[in-house]
Amino acid sequence: MNNTIAEVKLVPFEREHYDKLIEWVPSADFLKQWSGEAFTYPLDAEQLDDYRMQQEGDNPKRLVYTALHQTTGVPVGHISLGAINYHDRSGRIGKVLVGDETMRGAGLGQWMVREVCRIAFDELQLHRVALGVFDFNASALRCYERAGFQREGVKRDLRLVGNTYWSLVEMSMLEEEWEKLR
């Protein structure tokens, strides 16, 4: 593991992390790529309050995390585990972002995904974790495959952004696949 990544931990997403996350979202297209239909541009504190509220209660539908550099106390990334279904034992990773550009390409995204998988499979005892990534996002596709996710298929021309349709690659990991990775 990269020494810098060893200094990062996932912590619950709090109000004090809002400004950094908002700073990382420079355009409407980037917001769409990062969050799908979850937010509207410009991202603001009111939207993030609603998002963060989804993780409250005994059986939250979503868990939201900031990747925090422990030495500096500065957020370097963001990730969530949403669509948590306790009956079917499933969830969906989303909103994965290595916001600190100096940490991109160093394995932080893969580490964040694996850490959320650890929470999903080991702590929540989920059976299946899924995610979706736009097909043009080659670095994210590599990251998720390296983390152990399998491609399931493509939702063709799912989102119209400007004059271009974006297709979404669906991926998942099952608990027995997670066990083999550990």
Domain ranges of the chain: 3-130
* Whole-number average pLDDT of the chain: 95
The class that CATH gives domain 3-130 is alpha beta
- Cα separation of 75 and 156, whole Å? 34
pTM of the model: 0.95
Higher pLDDT, 2 or 69: 69
- Cα separation of 134 and 129, whole Å? 17
Inform me whether the pLDDT recorded for 100 exceeds 80: yes
- Cα separation of 93 and 84, whole Å? 10
Whole-number Cα distances in Å, 33 to 20, 133, 160: 18, 8, 11
Identify the pLDDT of residue 74: 95
The pLDDT tens digits for 8-35 are 999 999 999 999 999 999 999 999 999 9
| Confidence bin at 4 (pLDDT 50/70/90) | confident
Identify the pLDDT of residue 3: 62
The pLDDT tens digits for 144-168 are 999 999 999 999 999 999 999 999 9
Identify the pLDDT of residue 131: 98
User: Residue 62 corresponds to which tokens in the numbers above?
Assistant: 């979503």
